[in-house]
Each structure stands twice: as C-alpha cells, then as structure tokens.
Structure 1
Amino acid sequence: MTLATSPLSVLIVDDEAPARSRLRDLLGDLAETQPTRIAGMAGNGLEALSFLEHERVDVVLTDIKMPVMDGIELARHLGRFPQAPGVVFVTAYDEYAIQAFDLAAVDYLLKPARAQRLGEALAKARRQRPPAESVLRQASPQARTHFSVSERGRILLVPVADVIYLKAEQKYVVARTAQREYLLDESLVQLEEEFSARYLRIHRNCLVARDAVQGVARSVVGEEGEAHWVILLDALPDQLPISRRQWPGVKEALGL
C-alpha cells in the first residue's frame, strides 16, 4: 500500500450517536479508495481532547454545535498540538462560517454527509494544514471555555472559569487559579478582546476576573512610597495594583 493510500487514523466527534454511526459507515464504504482506521469516537470537544492525550490521530471529523465544548474550540486547541491532526467539520453551519473555514484550508461537509464528499475531504486532509487561529476566532466569536497550556510535552486544558487573573510577563501570560499558575503562549490584548465579559483590565499587564474581586484598598509601598489602589481577591491573598490610567474604568465597572 503506497503512502498516498495508507490508512488515515480518524477520530469522529459528534454529540449525536446516529451521526457518529453514519460517519463510521461512510468511512467503511470508502475503504478501497480512502482507507481509514477509526481510532475512536467522542461526544464533544472535551471528550475528544481527553482521548487525544493518549492517542495521536491523522484526522478529526467533528460537528460544530455540541455541548460542553464545540467543534471550533476543539479545533483551536488542536492547533496547539505539536503534530496537529487535520480537521474536517461535518456541520449544518451557516454559509458565512463555511466560507471562513474554506479560506483557512479547513474542509467541511454539510449534513447529511455523502460518501463522495467525505472521500474528497479525506483526500484534502492528507495534505491539510491546521486551521488558522484567527479565522476560527472570527467564525466563532464567543469565548472559549478552556485555555490550552503546553506543559512537559502535553496539552493541558484549564477551565476559564477557574482563572482568577491573567498577567503578562515577558513573552508569556500567567494564568493564575486558586491552586497554581499556568503559562499561556497568547497575547493579553487578544485575551482581553475575547474575554471582555469576564475579565476587567486593571493595569497594562493585568486582567482580573470580575467575579473574583472582593474589593479595592489603598496601598503604600515603603515608608515614603506613593499610595495607590489595589484589587483585593476572594480566593487569593494577592493584591493587584490598579494603574492610574485604568482606575476610572475600574471604578465604573465595580460600581465604586
């Protein structure tokens, strides 16, 4: 069997069991022209990422609208894998989103999927690059539910709801939870844009979760230091300085 026709390992992701079964059957019908090996099935993006912690696949066939974690967020996390699998969306999503996926070299199938179209998608997936993060963000403007963290050769998922503040330090952003810190390879500006409903900018290098704020206080550094305002947190003893520039916005946002 040549490299061009060597089996692709496939993960099927859909929250509906009949849809998963249909894709499995279609892959079987295409065995001669587009040989595949079904590595596994998952009911949402979070289950898929958990599966992929232990097994690498070549292609992920995923629905878009799913509970817990949708297909677009799944694709964004997959793009951070050292060897990212190809992503093929199997969806009834609107045409605007489909055009965006196409520009990012992400293939798609409209439900109900057809064997011929699936075969074309698999052929494209053999040479497909991971989808562009910027286009995925445009296609699904709602905020992610998890951050992706590369740590010791693994991709960790940190629930956004657990992150109390985000602080830029050198080339990384520190995501602080009640338990520990994680390093994100992302821009604080982009994080502020994506999570504006959850995080409040208090300094040029810091965003804090609005629901984690206990209050504010005046703080003085040193015997003759200048007093400045700091954020007090519910779950941590950290006191986060508020810059003069951000103070008016912080007061308004917190209703002070």
Structure 2
Amino acid sequence: MKYKVIICDDDLAQASNLALKLGIAAMMQPEEVELEIGTTAQNANEVLSYLNEHPLDGGIYFLDIELGDNQDDINGVDLAEEIKKLDQRAQIVFVTAYDEYMELTYQRRIGSIDYINKSNSDLQQRLNETVRDAVNNLAKANFSKKMTFSYRLGRIIRNVNIDDIYYISTTRAPHKLCLVRNDGTAEFAGDIKNIDQQNEFLKKVSQSYLVNPKNIAQINLKKNEIGFPNGDVIKFSRRFTYVMKGMINTYNLKQNSYRI
C-alpha cells in the first residue's frame, strides 16, 4: 500500500534531513508499505496548493509549527486545520524545536498523532514508530471505509453500514438517487454510474438499479424480479439474467421454481 507524505518546514536543510530520515523509516515498515514524498514545502500555501492540485484521502503530514518569520504567516497549527478540511483522514505529525507549543495543539483539538522535538537524540526511532502508527491508523480507517457507504445530504455526510443496504435506484428527478435500507429510505444527489464504479459490494442489475446481493430475499428468473426482506420487488433487465444466475450460485440465493 502506498502512502503519500507531505513535509512542511521553512528551513530547507531541516526539511531535507527529515525527508532522508523518513526514507529510513519507510524501510523499517512491513514490505507491503510504501511511502512516497508528495511534496517538500517551505510554507503553508505550497502545501495547500499541492492538495488542491493533488487531493489526498489519508496523507501523512510532517509539519513544523513555526513557519515563516512574520507574525501574519500561517503557522503549522493553522495549516493543520486547513489540511483537515481538505483531507479528513490526514495523519498530522508536528516536528518542532519548541515543546511549549504542544499545549496549543491540544487546545486547538488538531488531533495530531505525534509531537516530535527535532533535537531528540532518538529522532530516527521516534519517526519509525510514528510512521508505523500513522500507517496502522489509515489501515483501520480503510477497513472501516470498506464497510461503510457514504452519501451527502446538503452539507451533512451520512454513513451507512453496507450490510443494512438493500438497493439503490434512480428517481424521476435528474441526478437524484434513492437509497433503500433495512430501516427506511433516503434520497440524495448522485450518479448511479459513479456509485456503481465506487462500490464493489453493489451489483448492477439494470440501468436503474444497484442491489446488495447479501440482502436479496428471492429471485424470480421468469418474471425478472428481485425481492427484498421489506417486501419490495424490483425488475432486473433480461440482459442481466446471467448476472442473476451468478449471484444465485455465489450467494446461495433463493429463487422461485420457474424456468426460463
């Protein structure tokens, strides 16, 4: 698994030294873990510009708290807050020469995973362990994400366990979908083609329907119908009959005693 690392330090020599040590830390990780430096920046704007051009979902960020000499410059704590807006699963690590800033990161509730003093005699070992922790956090988050379907209602993001979903269908309104789950329904803006491509647990059975095979109660191959535990019955396209037969075999689904 490849993880992007972002370094921000206004001292280029310090940033280069940190990048070198992170390269060593990467070699201390399991074989399947790969770290890649996305950018080595000297100010907050460079980091934010990079993220706008290369959006990340779970980057690992090593930030110096004191950035720039001017009082108006964005410091590392401010930058961390902006990063969290762009990358919600960001793993923030503060690397600084000043321990007195640690309390500030707690007060601002940044949620950093570590605060490392540059002058630590065991800096390399600390970086090895911090990288390991960041990778473990992201691995757990990735697993959780695989078990969750997310959709947006206005500014609110809702998360639903995939095992609770019966099917997703188009509606009469353009670009609006209907999510049917075990406890009700919800409509949200989206494109069924994109939902299909982004969610492996759903299976396409027509231009209008994506179904969760685990929650199919019954399949009628003669009538091209799929039944669900809540009593809903939807139609699948005849050209998807082979898909239905495959699901019957794979998931041991119940089918009516009809023959085509």
Q: Into which bin does the TM-score normalised by the smaller protein fall?
A: 0.3 to 0.5
Q: Which has the higher helix share?
A: 2
TM-score, structure 1 as length reference:
0.45
Q: In terms of Rg, which structure is larger?
A: 2
TM-score, structure 2 as length reference:
0.45
